[in-house]
Amino acid sequence: MPKNSNRIIIFDTTLRDGEQSPGASMSVEEKIKIAKAFDDLGVDVMEVGFPAASNGDFQAAKEIGKILKKAIPCGLARATKSDIEKCRDSLKHTKQFRIHTFLSTSALHMKYKLKKTPKEVLELIKESVSLARKYTNDVEWSPEDGTRTEPDFLCKTVELAIKSGATTINIPDTVGYTMPEEYFKTIKLLFDKVPNIDKAVVSTHCHNDLGLAVANSLAGVKAGARQIECTINGIGERAGNAALEEIVMAMKTRNDLMPFKTGINTKKLSSCSKLVSNVTGFPVQFNKAIVGKNAFAHESGIHQDGMLKNKKTYEIMTPESVGVIKSSLVMGKHSGRNAFKDKATELGYSNLDEKFINKAFLKFKDLADKKKHVYDEDIIALIDDDFVKHNNAISLVSLQVFAGTKGPQKAIIELMVYDKVKKIESTGDGPVDAIFKGIGKIYPHKCNLQLYQVQAVTQGTDAQATVSVRIEEKGKISVGQAADTDTLVASAKAYINALNKLIIKRTRTAPSPDLSVSA
């Protein structure tokens, strides 16, 4: 592929380099499942494993090679006859396959890892690439630790690999050491100094030890590389590899500066990310670019307000473009009034007046200060609770409860009853009994308690409790419900809620209750 082409080959190594993440081993069945998804995603070349590493890798490569419809399967091999033949044997039944062989070229690696001279390394490159080329016309060669290899020697090894039959030359930043400007110069050096470089596709393979894998890969493309080696979610050894989803979306979003295209169906990025996460057990960090849980979530009130007016104010790409259903306005303590009103409308409360919205919003902010996450169910419970009380005869002013193993349990309760504040102290057989008896003293009534039920609205120890109360008076049944992070407060509110409904059901001409018994 010529340097001036704008088509970038996506070489996915999730099943090989990604699996080398400690704890990320996958079964043959799991690899096949991922391979099918990646084939559908539009990956051009799929490094399906290291066939010589184990029988499992060999079998996985063999089975994946059979099921791929579009992607070219590739096996990794060290510069040895046995490794290269294992690659051939695992993939020989496929229509087309690639052998990817490598050898260290940095002075550090040659001296301490290989214990070989530069001359011996050159001889091994010639032998291994030539052997691989006998088995397939698609051979990739990598100078391991390429970014720390002496420039002139790097050029010499690349020239030899191409002469020996390599059709792709990959320059690995094996230890994640290089910087974008430096990597650009390394790739450009090959085009300037290697006479036969036009006979091969130049590839990038960057690790993320300094958090620069994606930036370095893109720098390599700008210098002339036309293949990028990457993994979904950026998984891989140590700090991982360049993330496929970030690379693809960077080129798609900033096509003005990166005028390149890939064959990736970006709408499948999110599902592939989830699949890899589920199979490996590696969670995707919430703030991970493109596929993280918070990538299209907004909690700041300023951001939410902008999103409601025009999504482009705070989103440089649409969530749908990467397979996410929609943006999320996360309701929390940083959320603004407009976002709360929009959420209330979304939940079906479209006719609330501004005064009520303002009041409910303040209560929402109080709740958000107590809870990490405010769920839709929390907001529904809050609005329902407040809506019923809008013009109530009775409302809770304050509640203090004393409970524990040593009785009697006591409640100090203060109510607003027909615009008059009344306070009383009451004891009972348990804190809830003390609360209900106290309410009965402040507002005398003869009701039978038919139901008292507590249920958590959302998960977690900070969940709101929804309390349901059903009372009966002379055949009239009234049901009250309330929610609060304090179960006892919710209990008092639910009972009062039921009483208010009961008052509405009573004859409107009935005399007001005598409140003189209140303390």
Q: How far is CA 311 from the centre of its chain?
A: 20
Of the CA atoms within 13 Å of residue 292, those in its CB half-sphere come to 12
Contact between residue 10 and residue 248 where contact means Cβ atoms under 8 Å apart: yes
Q: Does residue 511 have a pLDDT over 60?
A: no
* pLDDT score recorded for residue 517: 31
Q: How confident is the model at residue 512 (pLDDT cuts 50, 70, 90)?
A: very low
The CA distances from residue 261 to 7, 177, 226, 227, in Å, are 5, 27, 10, 11
Among the ranges given (22-36, 188-202, 216-230), the one the predictor scored with the smallest mean pLDDT: 22-36
Q: Which residue has the higher pLDDT, 346 or 514?
A: 346
First vs last Cα of the chain: how many Å apart?
90
Segment 84-126, tens digit of pLDDT: 999 999 999 999 999 999 999 999 999 999 999 999 999 999 9
Q: Residue 113 and residue 4: Cα distance in Å, rounded? A: 37
Q: How confident is the model at residue 513 (pLDDT cuts 50, 70, 90)?
A: very low
Q: Does residue 349 have a pLDDT over 80?
A: no
* pLDDT score recorded for residue 280: 86
Q: Which residue has the higher pLDDT, 52 or 485?
A: 52
* pLDDT score recorded for residue 393: 81
Q: Does residue 433 have a pLDDT over 60?
A: yes
* pLDDT score recorded for residue 509: 32
Q: How confident is the model at residue 297 (pLDDT cuts 50, 70, 90)?
A: low
HEC string of 180-194 equals HHHHHHHHHHHHHHC
Q: Which residue has the higher pLDDT, 367 or 149?
A: 149
Q: Does residue 188 have a pLDDT over 60?
A: yes
| pTM exceeding 0.75 | no
- Range 41-53 average pLDDT: 96
Q: Is the peptide bond between 2 and the residue preceding it cis, with omega within 30 degrees of 0?
A: no
Q: Which residue has the higher pLDDT, 287 or 170?
A: 170
Burial of 63 (0-12, 13-18, 19+ CB in 10 A): middle
Q: How confident is the model at residue 129 (pLDDT cuts 50, 70, 90)?
A: very high
* pLDDT score recorded for residue 389: 53
DSSP code, position 338:
H
The residue assigned the tokens 């070489």 is 11
- Range 258-264 average pLDDT: 96
Segment 369-404, tens digit of pLDDT: 876 667 666 776 677 556 555 557 888 999 999 988
Q: Does residue 6 have a pLDDT over 60?
A: yes
Segment 310-324, tens digit of pLDDT: 767 756 677 777 776
Q: How confident is the model at residue 350 (pLDDT cuts 50, 70, 90)?
A: low
The enclosing H or E element of 9 equals strand 9-12
Q: Which residue has the higher pLDDT, 277 or 389?
A: 277
The CA distances from residue 421 to 121, 247, 264, 414, in Å, are 91, 64, 67, 7
Segment 457-498, tens digit of pLDDT: 666 666 678 888 888 888 777 778 888 888 899 999 999 988
Q: Which residue has the higher pLDDT, 24 or 171?
A: 171
The radius of gyration of the chain's CA atoms, rounded to the nearest angstrom, is 34
Residue spans of alpha helices (H) in 297-426 = 301-309, 337-346, 354-370, 376-388
DSSP bridge partners of 250? none
Chain-wide mean pLDDT for the chain? 86
Q: Which residue has the higher pLDDT, 409 or 296?
A: 409
* pLDDT score recorded for residue 239: 92
